[in-house]
Amino acid sequence: MTWRRVGLYYLFAIVLGGYYLLFEWRPGGPDAPIFEPRPVQESTFLALKRSAIHKLSIKRQQHIFVSQRSEGQPGEATDEWQVLEPTGAPVTSALVSGFIENLTPDRKVPIVHEAPEDLASYGLAPPASTIIIEGEGEPSKETIFIGGYNPTQTAVYARKDGSPEVVLLGYNVKYYEELIFQATQRDTEERS
């Protein structure tokens, strides 16, 4: 074995060792995060509980959808929803319930910005849609503005009326809204 070959082996070992130290080695072990996660501020988005909501309105461009919870036994909340506007639209109770479940998560939602100066960068000036929920309790009515998708297309930006905070709501809020408006538009096209 020549000294030249020994030198190449040492150089090869140094390059591989350097790569390992720079890109693979983690001081806390293999399960340690590569970067320390920054703390995320979270907020309880809506004060109204799901079971207390009895009316839902969604306004988008020139379209509007209004649904009201059906009356059950006195003091009981049902999961049946009737469509008030557009009259006779074939939107199922399950679709409305799914929308409300995704709009009112039990967990806290992440705050993206506490008081942004430019709401347009979040798709909130003007908002893509406006949601009004009414129910029993305090407050009895809440207005939510839905904006655009986040960069990874996994959530949508939202803001409550009267609050400067921009939060992230799950992708399914926008998805269920799309399904509701597709059903109402399909019905109006069939009637024409």
Residues 111 and 172 in one domain: yes
Per-residue pLDDT band for 177 (boundaries 50, 70, 90) equals: very high
CATH number for the domain spanning 149: value is 3.30.1490
- Do 178 and 163 form a contact (C-beta atoms < 8 A)? no
Residues 110 and 160 in one domain: yes
At residue 32, the pLDDT reads 57
pLDDT tens figures, 93-115: 899 998 988 887 677 888 888 88
Q: Which burial class, exposed, middle or buried, applies to 75 when counting CB atoms under 10 A from its CB (0-12, 13-18, 19+)?
A: exposed
Residues 16 and 57 in one domain: no
Domain enclosing residue 64, as ranges? 42-191
Q: Using the 8-state DSSP alphabet, how is residue 130 labeled?
A: E
pLDDT tens figures, 56-90: 999 998 889 999 988 765 555 567 899 898 888 88
Mean pLDDT of 132-143: 85
Averaged confidence pLDDT in the chain = 82
How many domains is the chain partitioned into structurally? 2
DSSP structure string for 52-88: GEEEEEEEETTEEEEEEEEE-STT-EEEEEEEEETTT
How much is the pTM? 0.71
Residues 60 and 140 in one domain: yes
Residues 157 and 97 in one domain: yes
